[in-house]
Amino acid sequence: MLPAMGVDATAGPGSPVAFPGPAEYDLAMGLALEEARRALPHGDVPVGAVAMVGGRVVASRHNERELTGDPTAHAEILALGDAAAALGAWRLSGVTLVVTLEPCPMCAGALVAARVGAVVFGATDPKAGACGSLYNLCADPRLNHEVAVTAGVRADEAAALLTGFFRERRRGA
């Protein structure tokens, strides 16, 4: 089981860390879905992200663009910032980021820049996805780092949360 918070003290910058497997991905996606629902009260698109090191959660965030007025306040960017603060380093090679929606170009670029080890996502984003759908920044050999990508974890649940949000938004408009 994944603890709610905590840092693996043995996993410092450059330390080899075993990435979690499918069972942990499923549990972590459940946490990311819970985090995504926290965006609903303030009208943000319900996307949640959980950063893990060695199977332990070090950061968990949701979209806050509407809440803060910050166009960069995507769940992934916020979770990466919190993970870097928790780990005391910007190089996040031991981190697996689990996110409910395929990262956009900005977030995929941040994954590469932060040297994240792996990203796991739920729903694909055919209009803005940059981890395989529209672009594939995480696996571009021209860049200085590649991020391992696992797609489709609890995709139906993640897609249903987003579809419901946009359905309600259209009704209110």
Active site residues: 76
- Structural contact between residues 135 and 106, judged by C-beta atoms closer than 8 angstroms: no
Q: Of 118, 142, 121, 143, nearest to 133 (Cα)?
A: 121
Strand, coil or helix: 36: helix
For 80-104, letters b (16+ CB in 10 Å) and e give bbbbbebbebebbbbbbbbbbbbbb
Q: Is 97 helix (H, G, I), strand (E, B) or coil?
A: strand
- The Cα-based distances of 149 to 4, 7, 43, 78 in angstroms read 23, 23, 29, 19
- The C-alpha atoms of residue 45 and residue 123 are separated, in whole angstroms, by 13
Residue pair 46/36 in contact (Cβ under 8 Å)? The answer is yes
